[in-house]
């Protein structure tokens, strides 16, 4: 598993440096795809960009991996020299373990924060959407997210705020005392802005949120909060005692000059954005205190509980097993095109191991072609109980007599075992979380008047698969 990463975070890089390599979700996805497409030897690329860190992960072919930090700077149009002492580069298992710790909040400035795991999921989703991810990075990021979820579920990381927005409220309470009855303006209605507005409302503030546009029934505004147009934000500041800004704007939402011109100014400003929303000079005005994300995270850095290390090591073992299996498959087989095969499923037994969302969708497709699907899963999350349901964990022998098998649980070890058992029995198997373990690939199905088409990709071009299927379905409708 030839992976490499470079990370730029709050510990070594000041906010002035980090904001030069800060990206929105779509920017990160596009940049990851660009790096994969233009850099020889790079098989996959994912970028994580949050207020505390920017990290690049590379999956590479044989030979030494390129310098991820230099590669990122070049792709982003930045000189590498100013960042050379701020990046930390890791390779192989060190890179994988670091990502698990990042996803669990153990590397965050707000120690143990809950938001980072969703940000890690967003990063791999953006890379997948734009074509930057490969199967190695898909598996790596899935491992990290699974480890983080288990940490959050089983270990109580006490004594810390679990988001920058929550920490911001605590700082405001420290500076102003009780917030009940105070007025607050929140600039930005993204995830962080909504979270901050909701927490301020819960603390008793009268909160107004700025919006660039409003569509009734589509725009989500935190319950109990008033709304003001973004263009009127300075007028709204004049009655606010607290100002919080949390946008993804590349420019200042609050300039020092316009803020200084206000007849009445908020006393405490909190900037939750990277790049920064509030021009730093605004905080130098008399009677004004300004806090940015670096200042919010100061103070608490406990030891990592032993149980957390055990959980991460367990998931690292699963990653090693996957990598070992993958390396035993000849390279030509890993990249082989997928031959389309159409078979009659009417009355034939298909075994679905798993009862979650993916399993439910695939069962519906199989049953529409007349398959008799046996579900093996302790829990069923679909509507109504399946007609043929073994309500227990998978056991050896469950695949006997099946024409096809599908492994779609959230347990990597179970999916791998189903794949191994199916191959031993000569039964074609689709393993939802590991393309290398599949002997058939579940397609996007397109139906027309007496016509059926199936579309599969190379395992990472999910967006192209969806686009192709949409185009084919339209064509089939026109032929009807």
- pLDDT by residue (tens digit) across 266-283? 999 999 887 889 999 999
Instruction: Note the pLDDT of residue 474.
Output: 87
The residue that leads in pLDDT, 259 or 168, is 259
Give start and end residues of each alpha helix (H) in 281-305: 293-296
Start-to-end CA distance of the chain, whole Å, equals: 48
Residue for token pair 């605590």:
170
Instruction: Note the pLDDT of residue 41.
Output: 87
Cβ-contact 211, 187 below 8 angstroms: no
pLDDT at 43 over 50: yes
Q: Give the tens place of pLDDT for each residue, 309-362.
A: 899 999 999 888 888 877 765 554 555 567 888 999 999 999 999 998 889 989
Mean pLDDT to the nearest integer, 227-244: 93
The residue that leads in pLDDT, 327 or 30, is 30
Mean pLDDT to the nearest integer, 440-459: 84
Of residues 114, 210, 211, the one with CA closest to residue 165: 114
Of residues 143, 172, 433, the one with CA closest to residue 311: 143
Mean pLDDT to the nearest integer, 215-243: 84
Mean pLDDT to the nearest integer, 381-393: 89
Mean pLDDT for the chain overall: 86
Q: Residue 181: how many CB atoms within 10 A of its CB?
A: 9
Instruction: Note the pLDDT of residue 160.
Output: 43
Instruction: Note the pLDDT of residue 222.
Output: 84
User: Residue 213: pLDDT band by 50, 70, 90 thresholds?
Assistant: low
Alpha carbon distances (Å) from 155 to 115, 307, 310: 16, 7, 11
Of residues 62, 63, 41, 59, the one with CA closest to residue 5: 59
Cα(10)–Cα(14) distance, integer angstroms: 6
Cα(480)–Cα(475) distance, integer angstroms: 9
Q: Give the tens place of pLDDT for each residue, 96-142.
A: 999 999 998 888 766 667 788 889 999 998 998 888 988 899 999 99
Instruction: Note the pLDDT of residue 299.
Output: 52
Give the alpha-carbon dihedral of 210, 213, 217, 221, to 10 degrees: -10
Instruction: Note the pLDDT of residue 201.
Output: 94
Q: In what order do the strands lie in the sheet with 183-187?
A: 226-229, 206-211, 183-187, 242-245, 268-271, 289-291
Alpha carbon distances (Å) from 151 to 87, 155, 156: 27, 5, 8
Q: Which residues contact 99 (CB under 8 A, 6 or more apart)?
A: 5, 57, 120, 140, 141, 144
pLDDT at 162 over 60: no
Q: What is the pTM of this model?
A: 0.57
pLDDT at 186 over 80: yes
Instruction: Note the pLDDT of residue 137.
Output: 92
Please report the DSSP string for 2-16 in residue order: -EEEEEEETTTS-HH
Catalytic positions:
51
| Of the candidate ranges 57-61, 229-233, 305-309, the one whose mean pLDDT is the lowest | 305-309
pLDDT at 258 over 90: yes
pLDDT at 159 over 60: no
Mean pLDDT to the nearest integer, 430-448: 87
Instruction: Note the pLDDT of residue 459.
Output: 57
| Of the candidate ranges 69-73, 298-302, 312-316, the one whose mean pLDDT is the lowest | 298-302
Tokens at 350, concatenated: 């298909």
Instruction: Note the pLDDT of residue 45.
Output: 95
What share of the chain in percent tops pLDDT 70? Answer: 91
Instruction: Note the pLDDT of residue 297.
Output: 63
User: Residue 250: pLDDT band by 50, 70, 90 thresholds?
Assistant: confident
Of residues 451, 424, 456, 427, the one with CA closest to residue 439: 427
Tokens at 124, concatenated: 């791999």
Instruction: Note the pLDDT of residue 53.
Output: 84
pLDDT at 462 over 70: no
Mean pLDDT to the nearest integer, 191-215: 87
pLDDT at 79 over 70: yes
Instruction: Note the pLDDT of residue 245.
Output: 94
Grouping H, G, I as helix, E, B as strand and the rest as coil, residue 245 is: strand
Tokens at 377, concatenated: 């899963």
What share of the chain in percent tops pLDDT 90? Answer: 47
Tokens at 106, concatenated: 């153990």
Query: Which long-range contacts link 316-325 to residues 24+ away (Cβ below 8 Å)?
Result: 316/93, 316/96, 316/97, 316/100, 316/143, 318/143, 318/412, 318/413, 319/1, 319/96, 319/139, 319/140, 319/143, 320/93, 321/416, 322/139, 322/412, 322/416, 322/434, 323/1, 325/416, 325/436, 325/437
Mean pLDDT to the nearest integer, 381-387: 85
- At 187, give phi and psi (nearest 5°): -90, 120
Give start and end residues of each alpha helix (H) in 159-214: 164-176, 191-202
Mean pLDDT to the nearest integer, 57-63: 88
Instruction: Note the pLDDT of residue 429.
Output: 95
Give the alpha-carbon dihedral of 165, 167, 173, 175, to 10 degrees: -110
């Amino acid at each position: 598993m030839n992976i490499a990463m470079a990370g730029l975070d709050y510990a070594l890089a000041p906010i002035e440096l980090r904001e030069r390599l800060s990206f929105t979700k779509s920017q990160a996805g596009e940049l990851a795809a660009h790096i994969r497409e233009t850099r020889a030897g790079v098989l996959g690329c994912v970028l994580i960009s949050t207020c505390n860190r920017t990290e690049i992960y590379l999956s590479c072919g044989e030979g030494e991996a390129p310098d991820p930090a230099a590669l990122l700077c070049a792709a982003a149009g930045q000189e590498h020299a100013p960042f050379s002492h701020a990046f930390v580069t890791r390779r192989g298992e060190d890179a994988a373990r670091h990502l698990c710790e990042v996803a669990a909040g153990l590397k965050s400035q707000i120690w143990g924060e809950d938001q980072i795991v969703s940000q890690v999921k967003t990063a791999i989703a953006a890379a997948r959407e734009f074509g930057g991810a490969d199967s190695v990075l898909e598996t790596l990021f899935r491992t990290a997210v699974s480890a983080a979820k288990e940490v959050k579920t089983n270990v109580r990381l006490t004594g810390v705020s679990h988001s920058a927005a929550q920490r911001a409220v605590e700082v405001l309470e420290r500076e102003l005392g009780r917030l009940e009855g105070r007025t607050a303006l929140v600039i930005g209605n993204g995830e962080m802005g909504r979270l901050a507005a909701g927490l301020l409302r819960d603390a008793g503030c009268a909160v107004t949120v700025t919006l660039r546009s409003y569509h009734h029934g589509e725009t989500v505004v935190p319950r109990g909060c008033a709304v003001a147009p973004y263009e009127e934000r300075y007028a709204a500041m004049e009655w606010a005692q607290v100002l919080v800004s949390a946008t993804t704007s590349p420019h200042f939402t609050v300039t020092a000059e316009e803020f200084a011109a206000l007849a009445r100014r908020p006393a405490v400003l909190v900037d939750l954005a990277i790049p920064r929303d509030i021009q730093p000079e605004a905080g130098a005005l008399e009677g004004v205190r300004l806090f940015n994300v670096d200042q919010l995270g100061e103070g608490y850095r406990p030891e990592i509980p032993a149980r957390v290390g055990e959980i991460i090591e367990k998931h690292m073992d699963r990653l090693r097993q996957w990598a070992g299996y993958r390396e035993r498959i000849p390279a030509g087989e890993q990249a082989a095109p997928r031959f389309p095969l159409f078979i009659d499923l009417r009355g034939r037994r298909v075994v679905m191991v798993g009862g979650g969302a993916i399993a439910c969708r695939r069962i519906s497709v199989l049953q529409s072609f007349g398959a008799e699907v046996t579900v093996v899963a302790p829990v069923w999350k679909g509507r109504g109980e399946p007609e043929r349901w073994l309500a227990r964990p998978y056991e050896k022998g469950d695949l006997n007599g099946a024409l096809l098998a599908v492994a779609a649980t959230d347990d990597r070890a179970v999916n791998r075992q189903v794949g191994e058992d199916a191959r031993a029995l000569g039964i074609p198997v689709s393993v939802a979380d590991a393309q290398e373990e599949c002997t058939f690939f579940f397609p996007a199905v397109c139906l027309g008047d007496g016509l059926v088409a199936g579309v599969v990709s190379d395992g990472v071009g999910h967006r192209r698969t969806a686009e192709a299927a949409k185009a084919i379905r339209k064509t089939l409708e026109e032929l009807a």
